[in-house]
């Protein structure tokens, strides 16, 4: 029973860390990376689909993304979807090819993105601590029902705390990496 609680807590904490990585992908650095466009959906035959399902997204150079749609008629839809997104990107079309230059980040926007990254990291830490609270609550419930001993409960809480420390440290390292990416000129 204790192992099941610990394994469930670890799986949920891992998902929180993975969600943080996905959230960090949406915060753009000065470099071009195809994952920046992951959150953009394009209206295609009446349904919204991710941009990767209607076009090939690649990096042309350090500051430019190239989007090559599979059908010529979706070029304007893709361009419109990028304009509507809150990424602050300004695509330009050259026939069948859409180029998306990454604007250089000013000091002010860098600091804003760092604040956003710190907020996302803090949300991930809170989620991990909530998972710890839930797991410890489950262990206490088992102790109240006399299904486990006090020593087992304490051992389980120690395991959950070690997991919490591990995943909080992972969040901190992801944040430090993102901050260094953002401050890189």
What angle in degrees, to the nearest 10, is found between the helix axes of 2-26 and 107-144?
A: 170
Residues 48 and 19 in one domain: no
Range(s) of the domain holding residue 21: 2-26+106-183
Cβ atoms of residues 5 and 135 within 8 Å? yes
The C-alpha atoms of residue 133 and residue 157 are separated, in whole angstroms, by: 10
The C-alpha atoms of residue 15 and residue 86 are separated, in whole angstroms, by: 25
Q: What is the DSSP string of 30-85?
A: SS--GGGGTT-EEEETTEEEEGGGTEEEEEEETTEEEEEESSGGGHHHHHHHHHHS
Domain boundary among 80, 101, 122: 101
Residues 136 and 118 in one domain: yes
Residues 117 and 65 in one domain: no
Q: Which residues pair with 61 in a beta bridge?
A: 64
- Residue 86 pLDDT: 74
Residues 94 and 114 in one domain: no
| Residue 110: CATH number of its domain | 1.10.132.20
The C-alpha atoms of residue 87 and residue 80 are separated, in whole angstroms, by: 13
| Domains held by the chain: number | 2
Q: Phi-psi category of 146—alpha, beta or left, where left has phi over 0 and alpha has psi -120 to 50?
A: left
Residues 117 and 79 in one domain: no
Residues 42 and 93 in one domain: yes
Residues 77 and 111 in one domain: no
- Residue 118 pLDDT: 93
| Residue 51: CATH number of its domain | 3.30.1360.40
Residues 58 and 125 in one domain: no
Residues 13 and 75 in one domain: no
Domain boundary among 73, 101, 129: 101
Residues 73 and 122 in one domain: no
Cβ atoms of residues 65 and 58 within 8 Å? yes
- Residue 159 pLDDT: 93
Residues 21 and 56 in one domain: no
- Residue 185 pLDDT: 61
The reported pTM is 0.73
Q: Which residues pair with 48 in a beta bridge?
A: 43
Instruction: Give pLDDT < 70 ranges for the chain.
Output: 30, 185
Q: Which residues contact 17 (CB under 8 A, 6 or more apart)?
A: 124, 128, 167, 170, 171, 174
Residues 96 and 148 in one domain: no
């Amino acid at each position: 029973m204790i192992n099941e609680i610990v394994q469930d807590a670890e799986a949920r904490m891992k998902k929180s860390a993975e969600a943080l990585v996905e959230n960090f992908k949406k915060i753009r650095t000065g470099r071009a990376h195809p994952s920046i466009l992951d959150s953009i959906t394009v209206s295609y035959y009446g349904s919204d689909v991710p941009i990767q399902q209607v076009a090939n997204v690649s990096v042309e150079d350090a500051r430019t993304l190239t989007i090559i749609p599979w059908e010529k008629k979706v070029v304007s839809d893709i361009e419109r979807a990028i304009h509507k997104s809150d990424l602050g990107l300004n695509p330009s079309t050259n026939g069948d090819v859409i180029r998306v230059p990454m604007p250089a980040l000013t000091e002010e926007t860098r600091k804003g993105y760092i604040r956003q990254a710190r907020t996302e990291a803090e949300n991930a830490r809170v989620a991990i601590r909530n998972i710890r609270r839930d797991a410890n609550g489950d262990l206490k419930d088992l102790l109240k029902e006399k299904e486990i001993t006090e020593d087992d409960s304490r051992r389980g809480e120690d395991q959950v705390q070690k997991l919490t420390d591990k995943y909080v440290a992972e969040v901190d390292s992801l944040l430090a990496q993102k901050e260094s990416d953002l401050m890189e000129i």
